[in-house]
Structure 1
């Protein structure tokens, strides 16, 4: 079966290949169920639905007597006849068959990620009412469905379920003026997201569920090949750590684009007006023929304007959210290295003990090393000795040398974690806030808010830094007494890959961080040296925790390592 072509109307866009739909309330806002059933938008979607249904109908079915084989016009005429109580509304087709088809249409529509948009202009009251307007449309869609359903079944429903019938999310867009350098004029008319409303739990499905390869440098500014317009592109302005990023994405990547709201702080319009960003990402635009790994993504440093520009191409592989997240972090980390800060691939928590003490611990390592699992194990074995564990950063942070001291800062306000890594308590407690990615598949992920931006970018002192060692068969934790041995372990970035990326088996990654340090090793090495000098000068605990995950994934052994970690922290 060939995938039908997208619907591309002024008020409605739907791409069945990506299961993405965009409703433009500025172009048309439907106010009644009769407006809806008479709309060009619904007629186009019914046509799309019937095109897909025809491949499911038996080949010997009677076209005149099968409701899913009728024309869109006949389909909607039947719906209108039912709504207006015409006596012969279901004369040609059994009511049960029409009802089953309406149920399928309704379900098919809800398989799409449906994002409603409104563009606000200065002094426009819609800025404070966009959620009310969107809720009105949701109520209208569910009312139309229930009216048809109850008329066909001949009685009112006994149970009502209030679901996201019309849209999955609603975004408020606006034009923001910022000083575009020469060559960036193509971005001028693309609207920024200024407010965003999600209806969690959101279950998003993408064609890809794993990231491959590395992002590499290109000698050509990706703006040279950019062909996007204000009709098919949006911008999510993000505060990534202390970097200001303008993340431009094609509307077919709305699943990733709106999921950013649970991961990076959305910058306020007043914060970005007139501000040149540190980072620009173009997600869904082609690279150049000379680039290596053209299917992956590239970055370019625009030295003349001091902007890191990233580019990720439009293809099925890059629909996985990890591409958008990791390219954002790569650009941010490159910016941090240029600022003489050290990007840290890991998790940082502040632990409050029952005895009143607080300790900050940074877990370090590449994907699958056991950073998140170590924190979970620590919680499991703590009993009543730990009052609270606050997440400062979950995946990426940076170490900053300032005033003769070493501090840690976070990057993301949320966490993008494997569902398998979460305890059932954490998973269920955050369900009403979560954005779930391919929850039924291997490497299923959830994005949940974790902390406030002001909290994560504050300067946090470091009490302990441990490497997540998932390859040795030892149990417990080990403190390095020699600075060079410690540095060698951290720089080697050794791990046994668990298949969360395209790697399997033993691997090494420079400084366990393929998102910036690998690309700029020469610039990163002197920052690493300065950080380790300060750590050992201050007698900070630098060691490794044996997670055992690359061997037999024994929870008992990881818990034993966590118990030893707990005892060391209590004695510090």
Structure 2
């Protein structure tokens, strides 16, 4: 790819070759047939970008060296079966170039947008509108391909030729406090249609550092336009979040749909959000990510700068969760960095287990190992949350309940069992699948079930550094508390950390930032758990020492025995 290529807007198409993002606005122009397509400014822009990118290759056909007008006129002559179609260029060279052009366009994340304008006809048929455009693009490609070949294809592959996704947008009215008015023109994502499995690529594949507080509200730095910015309204646990992102971050913006519940625009209209994230600001303090608590309006505001590092989805996900967790701490709830599952056993017992630990400790891996070794002893295993939840003290029932934040899971491909990976392949959003720390985002559970109040039967710390195998119950509350608070683990390359690390309460997304407020909540939670005789312990995952998973499976076997016999 040519370096330092500036984004271009042509007709209804926005194209950023550096970020590999293309946005097509159907409200600006909707192309209805192959003749409109081949004569469109949008296709001309794509061809121009393609030919410019070919300039860096030493070996290319003569057809790649022509200008954009000659290129398109040749394609028109082929489509119309004109006698002069091959007067200047060899048929094989044209075919090779067309194949490369087709691959070039499909290498982008291609998103189409339709603004509703309260149009119920568009709302009910937006997927058909986008499907017709996809059929149109593949029809033009196949028409040219088969005319160049001189025969019809014998195998047809129904790929996503036009777009990967289509989103309905809507401008909604919400009570923006003073200083936030500029956000009101930004369109909300009302409904999304994804075409999974989606393979997307970003310039960064790892998150660095932690988010810190700033003294000034980031909203003062926002000067984004309606054309460049979008808002994903999300339900994160019981928090309402307005996640504003620059269109160059559509990879992350779309990925949110597999992770968080999309808030109904009609229901959030007229509501002030609990959280606001500004993702892709040109200017932030120190060029890194921060948050601010607007106490006057009780809004947690996050800022993430526009740069190559923040293209990694972990920045968007973790800032959303940091804001939510800070909101929870402020309400007296305890954010939990962990996974929770509801397990039904063949002996008619049901157990709710929370696995706790920082990134790479082995939370999700312990669950998968438990599934692998259980055979027919486990009837079903329901994921309540995969990465972040919260504990709430209450005067009802057991006096403590847990609930989740996400409806999906953001997991490392390296750590997925083949069964889990292939069973969810057709619904996944894959990020940089060819690289280390490759990730997939898959739906996990319904929002209503995630935020339900769940009682806890077991809470275990995922210990990835010890040489021991199995499960250990903490009889001493203070020893347990110290283990959970110290947040010790061996880093596995999911962040910029290396070697042995410690993180307060294994959670750099809220508790680290507000340790003083979090400590008394931790004390109260542990008091309640031990008063209820809840199992509090640690499972030895061995991920920092033994990559074979045999040791983890042994630990999972002991966990299975304890759960079934207690």
User: Within the alignment, does 1:9 sit opposite 2:13 as a pair?
Assistant: no
User: In the alignment, which residue of structure 1 is the partner of 2:48?
Assistant: 47
**What is the correspondence of 1:133-532 to structure 2 with a 5 Å cutoff?**
133-288=129-284, 291=285, 294-404=286-396, 405-532=399-526
Shift of 1:10: 4.4
Distance verdict in 2 for CA 1:175–1:503, change over 3 Å: same
Provide the C-alpha distance between the structure 2 equivalents of 1:160 and 1:3, rounded to a whole number of angstroms.
36
User: In the alignment, which residue of structure 1 is the partner of 2:82?
Assistant: 86
Contact 2:10 2:45 in 1 (8 A): no
User: In the alignment, which residue of structure 2 is the partner of 1:20?
Assistant: 21
1:504-543: CA deviations, max 9, x gaps?
Answer: 1111000000000000000101110110010000000000
1:391-425: CA deviations, max 9, x gaps?
Answer: 00000000011125110100000000001111111
Contact 1:238 1:245 in 2 (8 A): yes
Shift of 1:287: 4.3
SS in structure 2 at match of 1:245? strand
SS in structure 2 at match of 1:282? strand
Give the paired residue count.
563
What TM-score results when the alignment is normalised by the length of structure 1? 0.97
Contact 2:402 2:453 in 1 (8 A): yes
Shift of 1:3: 3.0
Contact 1:368 1:500 in 2 (8 A): yes
Shift of 1:8: 1.3
1:42-100: CA deviations, max 9, x gaps?
Answer: 11111110000121144xx8xxx811010100000000000110012012111010011
Contact 1:246 1:280 in 2 (8 A): yes
Structure 1 range deviating more: 15-24 or 551-560? 551-560
Provide the C-alpha distance between the structure 2 equivalents of 1:480 and 1:138, rounded to a whole number of angstroms.
58
Shift of 1:186: 1.0
Contact 1:4 1:51 in 2 (8 A): no
Provide the C-alpha distance between the structure 1 equivalents of 2:283 and 2:5, rounded to a whole number of angstroms.
27
Contact 2:168 2:191 in 1 (8 A): yes
Aligned-residue RMSD, C-alpha: 1.0
1:148-181: CA deviations, max 9, x gaps?
Answer: 0011110111111101000010000011100000
Shift of 1:9: 2.9
Structure 1 range deviating more: 123-132 or 316-325? 123-132
Provide the C-alpha distance between the structure 1 equivalents of 2:521 and 2:408, rounded to a whole number of angstroms.
27
Provide the C-alpha distance between the structure 2 equivalents of 1:91 and 1:445, rounded to a whole number of angstroms.
49
Shift of 1:124: 4.1
Contact 2:341 2:383 in 1 (8 A): yes
SS in structure 1 at match of 2:414? helix
1:163-220: CA deviations, max 9, x gaps?
Answer: 1000010000011100000000110100000000000000000000000000000111
1:266-320: CA deviations, max 9, x gaps?
Answer: 00112211010000000000444xx4xx333100000010000000000000000
Contact 1:279 1:307 in 2 (8 A): yes
Structure 1 range deviating more: 372-381 or 429-438? 372-381
Structure 1 range deviating more: 508-517 or 84-93? 84-93
Contact 1:346 1:395 in 2 (8 A): yes
Contact 2:465 2:543 in 1 (8 A): yes
Provide the C-alpha distance between the structure 2 equivalents of 1:46 and 1:469, rounded to a whole number of angstroms.
53
SS in structure 1 at match of 2:185? coil
SS in structure 1 at match of 2:208? coil
Contact 2:370 2:560 in 1 (8 A): yes
SS in structure 2 at match of 1:284? strand
SS in structure 2 at match of 1:400? strand
SS in structure 2 at match of 1:255? helix
Contact 1:296 1:318 in 2 (8 A): no
Provide the C-alpha distance between the structure 2 equivalents of 1:101 and 1:367, rounded to a whole number of angstroms.
45
SS in structure 1 at match of 2:410? strand
Contact 1:286 1:311 in 2 (8 A): no
Structure 1 range deviating more: 266-275 or 320-329? 266-275
Runs (4+) off by over 3 Å: none
Provide the C-alpha distance between the structure 2 equivalents of 1:415 and 1:558, rounded to a whole number of angstroms.
21
Contact 1:213 1:296 in 2 (8 A): no
Provide the C-alpha distance between the structure 2 equivalents of 1:122 and 1:85, rounded to a whole number of angstroms.
44
Provide the C-alpha distance between the structure 1 equivalents of 2:548 and 2:363, rounded to a whole number of angstroms.
15
Provide the C-alpha distance between the structure 2 equivalents of 1:71 and 1:363, rounded to a whole number of angstroms.
59
Shift of 1:380: 1.5
Structure 1 unpaired stretches of 5+ = none
SS in structure 2 at match of 1:552? coil
Contact 1:548 1:554 in 2 (8 A): no
Contact 2:207 2:496 in 1 (8 A): yes
Structure 1 range deviating more: 88-97 or 249-258? 88-97
